Amino acid sequence: MKQSLQLKVGQSLTMTPQLQQAIRLLQLSTLDLQQEIQSALDSNPLLEISDDDGDIEVNTEPTSAEPKKPEKAGDNEIETPQPEADTEWAERSDIPEDLPVDSQWDDVFQTSGSGSGSSSSGEDSDYNNDYRHSSSDSLQDHLRWQLNLSRLSDIDQMIADAIIDAIDEKGRLTVDPEELVEGFDNDAIEIEEVNAVLHLIQQFDPPGVGGRDLQECLLIQLKQMPRNTPYVDEACLVVSQYMAQLGNRDYNQIMRRCRLKEDQLRDILKLIQSLDPTPGNAIGSDDTEYVIPDVFVSKKEGRWLVELNPDIAPKIQINAQYASMARQSSNASDNDYIRDNLQEARWFIKSLISRNETLMKVATKIVEYQRGFLEYGEEAMKPLVLHDIAEAVGMHESTISRVTTQKYMHTPRGIFELKFFFSSHVSTDTGGECSSTAIRALIKKLVAAENPRKPLSDSKITDLLAEQGIQVARRTIAKYRESLVIPPSNERKRLV
């Protein structure tokens, strides 16, 4: 085979490092972006946090991020709010400069709750109790703290530890007492002793902990109520003997067997519904995750305004002193190091500017499309897909997908992820379109207004929507209902 040289002309897309960095920053969430900025500040000496309230500084003039204003009366305006000036914590002037080695904190500062300057042992005990009772402890820690207040023998203590270890996060006992007896090496432990210790733990806080199933959990809570509680004995009877009928909402059979009237059964059901089926959830160490919105939307003087959250990322700039050293340094290696970091700093700042511009454009177009939702709620939500926004802002759908992932918008109706405003559509009899979000809102509205004695079936909801010109299949209604965590009609039936 003869070898030869040929020239060919063609086009190809190359992912430059700058483009890769811009795409990566675009798809980062607020928390990840803050970590990325902090990492860049730590690794690049030419980057620093800006002290003024101006925009991010960069030598190249950035492209304007302001989109074209719509011609309708409800035009959107974009304003970039100025972050508040940083405040410094004033140092305490009453702190002694030199403290003895064996000094305690209470020797310098007195607690606000102590008038004499020294706390009693009772106050310390109350503080420790409140601290141990805080929700930061796990359920097992909370139960063991109460167990330490009980006087038990060594064997009973071992049994109690095994029982507490077998309680899950919901507060349910996951093993039977017989299995616990078999698991002990001590043959002297009998089932009666295990049941006695289990009964002790079932009296602990939270009420209902240690129940082996839902029925026992509810009975424990009912038995801990004051005996003069109205209908507490009748509620114990219903839960202990007619749990299956209660789950199936067979109220007629319960009234007939317990010889109850309808108003009496209604009060009994209210008492049972006030109980907690998962008492362990009240005690846990799960930390709450807060959402930081990337965009704020508000209505001022009849117009919707879209603005970026100025607190999602610190404003950074290039250190002018280090940048000037690139021209003054006589050492070639130092000069190259400064120039490389200067170029990387410029690329990073440009990528942040591009991210903010793209996010602002997409958020503004979403507000333009979904102005009805902001005015009237979910029932006025319009069908919207990624292609519509991509075509409006002149970007690719993949870019819109990156922008709307893990980005949140703060509106007068709540905080929503940008993907919330995108939904499929269903055709109407008039030739229009209705979004799936609006259909879910209509289903929720119909279920909320239904007669509890005769709940609406999926077929009936389909007919009611058809009367409004919305043609939806029954299986689609069932799918939307399940996504809204709405039980079927037979489980929604209840007494008025």
SS (H, E, C) 387-432: HHHHHHHCCCHHHHHHHHCCCEEEECCEEEEHHHHCECEEEECCCC
Q: When comparing pLDDT for 164 and 100, which is higher?
A: 164
How confident is the prediction for the chain on average, in pLDDT? Answer: 79
Q: Show me where the domains of the chain are located.
A: 15-67+290-356+396-418, 137-284, 425-492
Q: From CA 456, how far away is CA 189, in angstroms rounded?
A: 55
> Which residue intervals of 184-261 are DSSP H helices?
191-201, 214-223, 232-241, 243-247, 251-258
Q: From CA 37, how far away is CA 311, in angstroms rounded?
A: 13
Q: From CA 263, how far away is CA 365, in angstroms rounded?
A: 54
What pLDDT is recorded for position 62? Answer: 32
What pLDDT is recorded for position 113? Answer: 39
Return the bridge partners of 211, or none: 172
How do 295-300 and 408-411 pair as beta strands?
A: parallel
271 CA to centre of own chain? 31
- Answer whether residue 5 shows pLDDT above 70: yes
Question: Contact at 8 Å (CB) between 272 and 217?
Answer: no
- Answer whether residue 292 shows pLDDT above 50: yes
Q: From CA 429, how far away is CA 110, in angstroms rounded?
A: 74
Nearest alpha-carbon partner for 135 in 285, 287, 276: 285
Question: Contact at 8 Å (CB) between 308 and 356?
Answer: yes
Residue 493 banded pLDDT, cuts 50, 70, 90: confident
Residue 430 banded pLDDT, cuts 50, 70, 90: low
φ, ψ at 121 (rounded to 5°)? -65, -30
Structure tokens at 450: 């239904």
Structure tokens at 289: 């995750």
Fold of the domain spanning 425-492: Arc Repressor Mutant, subunit A (1.10.10)
Q: From CA 80, how far away is CA 304, in angstroms rounded?
A: 14
Residue 267 banded pLDDT, cuts 50, 70, 90: very high
Work out the burial of residue 482: count CB atoms within 10 Å of its CB; fewer than 13 is exposed, 13-18 middle, 19 or more buried: exposed
263 CA to centre of own chain? 40
Residue with tokens 């690719």: 396
193 CA to centre of own chain? 44
Question: Contact at 8 Å (CB) between 397 and 346?
Answer: no
Return the bridge partners of 409, or none: 295, 416
380 CA to centre of own chain? 25
pTM of the predicted model as reported, rounded to 2 decimal places = 0.61
Q: From CA 240, how far away is CA 236, in angstroms rounded?
A: 6
Residue 71 banded pLDDT, cuts 50, 70, 90: very low
What pLDDT is recorded for position 117? Answer: 39
Nearest alpha-carbon partner for 350 in 40, 64, 24, 61: 61
- Answer whether residue 350 shows pLDDT above 70: yes
Q: From CA 113, how far away is CA 122, in angstroms rounded?
A: 13
What pLDDT is recorded for position 215? Answer: 93
Amino acid at 450: E
- Give every CB contact of residue 48 below 8 A, 6+ residues apart in sequence: 41, 316, 317, 318, 319
How confident is the model over 105-130, as pLDDT tens digits? 344 333 333 333 333 344 444 434 44
Can you tell me the mean pLDDT for 490-496? 73
Structure tokens at 374: 């902001």
Can you tell me the mean pLDDT for 373-383? 89
What pLDDT is recorded for position 268? Answer: 92
Q: From CA 447, how far away is CA 489, in angstroms rounded?
A: 9
Return the bridge partners of 427, or none: 433
Residue 96 banded pLDDT, cuts 50, 70, 90: very low
How would DSSP label each residue in 266-291? HHHHHHHHTS-S-GGGGS--PPPPPP
Structure tokens at 340: 């490389």
Residue 29 banded pLDDT, cuts 50, 70, 90: confident
Structure tokens at 494: 């209840």
Can you tell me the mean pLDDT for 324-342? 78
CB atoms within 10 A of CB 382: 18
What pLDDT is recorded for position 360? Answer: 93
Bond preceding residue 206 cis, omega within 30 of 0: yes
Return the bridge partners of 470, or none: 428
How far CA 399 is from CA of 166, 308, 467, in Å, comes to 49, 19, 40
